[in-house]
């Protein structure tokens, strides 16, 4: 094990960068490895379940990342953007698999960002009552978050991610080569999630290679998921900064959709604002001091992410959406920093939330 290992999940590390970094998600019989490094998608054939005779690759037109599962393979291309996260797409994938004579012992390979891994994972979890899926995330956000941990699902017109399952992948291949052509805003979106990890114990990434940075974040997520796979409690900390981000998305100021307008914030940019908001709120509640708030602002702006509310964002509307957030079981629940680290805090007083939002008006 490397002397820079952040925790038990980081099992092997080659400082020269020739060998993939392996991070184990310890979930007993559902446990799996996440391989991180340049070119790791070429390990795909060695990750297949024993007995798999066929593979279905699920991807999107713009992804352009080829994979070779080493068995006969068919490729289904789903539409671009968040609108592809629908039950109609799941039906399309499952019917494609049925026409290709896929069985439960075969394998789905999801190649793309969070939309692809979410929807392909859900299709795999349902097809023949559960077929293996291997994720090959091709965005930074996918590599440090969406592809790890087994949350799969689709949206309904009534809300996002309302239908889904916990279905752990058989393995995850975070090939850092696939990030080379990412647009600048996709990097920023991924950096929003990386900024979050800074407050969950993953600090000082600057001197590390990209693969090491990704692996450190993956190791953090792996440890949290292993401790609370189905989000009974602790896993909620992975949503640090997300309550305001989801409210900004619901209010139309931000979008998880890669094809969103230039004017809209990307998901990770909204998470950046959400982190600063959470810090201001934690300070108002006496949980952290000024220097920790400044640390939040420094990390977020260090990733070139915004630290202020977008013009026109109405605090009353945002509070309304935050109260409806899935993590709030009635009242207002937020993930907040404190002496013991980030944790869920229930029944947060709305007037303090308003005050914290006020601190995010315009550049300070």
Residues in touch with ligand GLY (CB under 6 A): 145, 149, 151, 235, 238-239
Output the residue with the shortest Cβ distance to ligand GLY. 238
Marked catalytic residue, from 129, 158, 347, 364: 129
Contact 188, 266 (CB under 8 A): yes
Give the shortest CB-344-to-ligand GLY separation in angstroms: 13
For 195, the 3-state DSSP assignment is helix
Question: Is residue 221 flagged as an active site residue?
Answer: yes
Give the shortest CB-345-to-ligand GLY separation in angstroms: 18
Give the shortest CB-127-to-ligand GLY separation in angstroms: 22
Distance between start and end Cα atoms, the chain: 44
Marked catalytic residue, from 26, 43, 177, 231: 231
**Beta-sheet pairing, 73-78 with 265-266:** unpaired
Dihedrals phi, psi of 24, to nearest 5 degrees: -95, 135
In whole angstroms, what is the distance from residue 355 CA to residue 189 CA? Answer: 26
Question: Is residue 160 flagged as an active site residue?
Answer: no
Marked catalytic residue, from 267, 280, 287, 296: 267
For 23, the 3-state DSSP assignment is strand
Give the shortest CB-238-to-ligand GLY separation in angstroms: 4
In whole angstroms, what is the distance from residue 80 CA to residue 334 CA? Answer: 32
- CB proximity list for 143: less than 8 A, separation 6 or greater: 36, 137, 174, 176, 179, 190, 214, 218
Question: Is residue 231 flagged as an active site residue?
Answer: yes
In whole angstroms, what is the distance from residue 7 CA to residue 45 CA? Answer: 28
In whole angstroms, what is the distance from residue 354 CA to residue 295 CA? Answer: 22
Question: Is residue 13 flagged as an active site residue?
Answer: no
| Residues composing the chain | 364
Q: Which is nearer to ligand GLY, 238 or 307 (CB)?
A: 238
Q: Which is nearer to ligand GLY, 135 or 239 (CB)?
A: 239
Marked catalytic residue, from 216, 235, 266, 296: 235
Marked catalytic residue, from 135, 188, 223, 239: 239
Question: Is residue 239 flagged as an active site residue?
Answer: yes
Q: Which is nearer to ligand GLY, 145 or 280 (CB)?
A: 145
Marked catalytic residue, from 221, 266, 287, 296: 221
Q: Which is nearer to ligand GLY, 86 or 239 (CB)?
A: 239
- CB proximity list for 36: less than 8 A, separation 6 or greater: 20, 21, 22, 23, 143, 174, 176, 211, 214, 215, 218
Give the shortest CB-76-to-ligand GLY separation in angstroms: 24
Give the shortest CB-145-to-ligand GLY separation in angstroms: 5
Q: Which is nearer to ligand GLY, 145 or 256 (CB)?
A: 145
Question: Is residue 354 flagged as an active site residue?
Answer: no
- CB proximity list for 186: less than 8 A, separation 6 or greater: 139, 140, 141, 258, 266
Q: Which is nearer to ligand GLY, 155 or 283 (CB)?
A: 155
In whole angstroms, what is the distance from residue 249 CA to residue 267 CA? Answer: 8
- Known catalytic residues are 129, 151, 193, 221, 231, 235, 239, 242, 246, 267
């Amino acid at each position: 094990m490397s002397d820079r290992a952040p925790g038990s999940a980081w099992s092997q590390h080659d400082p020269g960068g020739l060998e993939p970094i392996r991070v184990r998600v310890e979930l007993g019989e559902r446990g799996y490895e996440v391989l991180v490094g340049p070119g790791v998608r070429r390990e795909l054939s060695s990750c297949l379940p024993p007995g798999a005779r066929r593979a279905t690759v699920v991807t999107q037109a713009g992804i352009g990342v080829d994979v070779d599962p080493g068995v006969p393979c068919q490729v289904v291309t789903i539409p671009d953007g968040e609108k592809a996260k629908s039950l109609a797409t799941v039906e399309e994938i499952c019917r494609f698999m049925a026409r290709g004579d896929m069985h439960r012992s075969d394998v789905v390979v999801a190649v793309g960002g969070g939309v692809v891994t979410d929807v392909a994972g859900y299709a795999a979890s349902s097809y023949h009552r559960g077929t293996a899926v291997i994720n090959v995330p091709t965005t930074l956000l996918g590599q440090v978050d969406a592809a790890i941990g087994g949350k799969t699902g689709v949206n309904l017109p009534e809300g996002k991610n309302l239908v889904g399952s916990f279905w752990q992948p058989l393995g995850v291949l975070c090939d850092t080569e696939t990030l080379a052509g990412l647009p600048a805003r996709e990097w920023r979106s991924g950096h929003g999630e990386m900024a979050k990890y800074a407050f969950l114990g993953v600090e000082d990434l600057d001197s590390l290679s990209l693969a090491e940075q990704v692996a450190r974040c993956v190791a953090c997520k792996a440890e949290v998921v292993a401790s609370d796979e189905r989000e009974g409690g602790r896993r909620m900390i992975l949503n640090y900064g997300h309550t305001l981000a989801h409210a900004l998305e619901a209010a139309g100021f931000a979008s998880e959709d890669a094809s969103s307008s230039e004017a809209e914030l990307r998901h990770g940019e909204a998470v950046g604002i959400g982190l600063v908001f959470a810090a201001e709120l934690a300070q108002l509640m006496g949980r952290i001091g000024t220097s920790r708030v400044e640390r939040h602002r420094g990390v977020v702006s260090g990733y070139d992410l915004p630290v202020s509310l977008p013009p026109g964002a109405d605090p009353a509307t945002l509070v309304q959406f935050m109260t409806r957030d899935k993590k709030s079981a009635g009242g207002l629940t937020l993930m907040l920093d404190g002496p013991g680290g980030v944790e869920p805090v229930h029944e947060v007083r709305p007037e303090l939330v308003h005050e914290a939002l006020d601190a995010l008006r315009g550049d300070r």
